[in-house]
Structure 1
Amino acid sequence: MKIYELIKQLINLTGEFVTNRLDRDITIKSFSSWLSKYLDETIATEEYEITGHSIEAEIAAYIGRMSRYSNVYIKSALIDLPFATDMDFAFTAILHRSGSIGKTELIRKMAYDKSSGMEVIKRLLKNEIIEQFPNPDDKRSKLLRLTKNGEENVIKAYSEAHKAAKMVSGTLTTTEQITLLKTLKKLDDFHFPIYLEEEKDLNLIIKKYANQ
């Protein structure tokens, strides 16, 4: 966009802003806030290139794409380590930070579905990355912990995983990364309690949570 076209747009937007403000104070700060809201509303009404439906559908689509990109980078980073999948590494990293925990708790910390989580645990046990032992507080259950082999390999994996994480962040500035992280945490705070309830009926989930 040429500079005079940008100036023309700014003049037009300033005129619209002044008209909307009526008798209220007109300042750079108030114009900046108005412009930010105006642009957000404009973006929200655009035709979206992936789904062509709504901003919500587009968000879901892009989150899915980011997950796939992340998986590719993680798999490449861990190619010389004994982790069959990115989730193998993630489960191991959780155990490394949390210490000994039960299978269900480990799966929940990862917000993973139970059957897939159990497959990850079986694979890690088979590959001697983790081991299970009797729970001293409940003899009927068992806890999981890293083996020496698992601890050595997860430490090696951290530096490689960090390279993958940097790729996932792309060219985002530090400020953009912080903003994105806050947004993702807000979404996680919303979804994690729903995950813990294990409700399968989407209509019931929507009825209970959509208007919060």
Structure 2
Amino acid sequence: MGRITSAYSLYHRAAMSKTKLPSPESFYFLNGLAHLGEVKKTDLINYLFYEYTTGMEVISKLLKDNLILEKVDLADKRAKLISLTAKGKQVLNGSYIQSAKVSEMIFNGMNNDSIKLCIELLVDIEEKHSKWVPELKNKEFDEMYHTICK
């Protein structure tokens, strides 16, 4: 898994350099906003499993480049909500083309049945860790291990 993840990361960084994104990570943030809609910054950061400081740096770049918009949350005047701008949607759509190429590179040569089997086998693992990671991401490794493998 580690080697596949490393290969994917290499290809993804190279592919995103061909886009108008300020950084490769920006793709995940814009894509997350496309799925979640208007959300608090921390909600997006947690959804993506990023560390707070790193997530805020990416969000700042996206705001600076007018790819996302920030406004006051009417339900909680202290909080700010972010959402995609028209420019952000346009850049994201162009980035999807590059992202699809990365997936094509990773799964090149596999038939559709094998890809479907991979998804079937991994969906439970993804769901399990999607629940655990937000709670555990700032814990020490031993606590993470004991919580998940109790």
TM-score, normalised via structure 2 length: 0.87
Number of residue equivalences:
149
* Equivalent of residue 117 in structure 1, options 55, 59, 75: 55
Q: Give how far 1:142 is off.
A: 0.4
Are 2:2 and 1:64 aligned?
Answer: yes
Highest relative contact order (Cα 8 Å, sep 6+), 1 or 2?
A: 2
> Matches of residues 194-209 of structure 1 in structure 2 within 5 Å?
194-198=132-136, 199-209=138-148
Q: Give how far 1:121 is off.
A: 0.9
Are 2:18 and 1:106 aligned?
Answer: no
Q: Give how far 1:167 is off.
A: 1.0
Are 2:33 and 1:95 aligned?
Answer: yes
Q: Give how far 1:102 is off.
A: 0.8
Q: Deviations over 1:74-123 (max 9, x none)?
A: 23323332213332111101112322111111112212222221121111
Gaps in structure 1 of 5+ consecutive residues:
1-62
CA contact (8 A) 2:62 2:68 kept: yes
Are 2:86 and 1:160 aligned?
Answer: no
Quote the RMSD (CA, aligned, Å).
Answer: 1.8
Structure with larger Rg: 1
CA contact (8 A) 2:17 2:24 kept: no
Amino acid of the residue matched to residue 75 of structure 1?
R
Amino acid of the residue matched to residue 105 of structure 1?
D
CA contact (8 A) 1:71 1:86 kept: no
Cross-structure match for 1:128: 66
TM-score, normalised via structure 1 length: 0.64
Percent identity over the alignment is 25
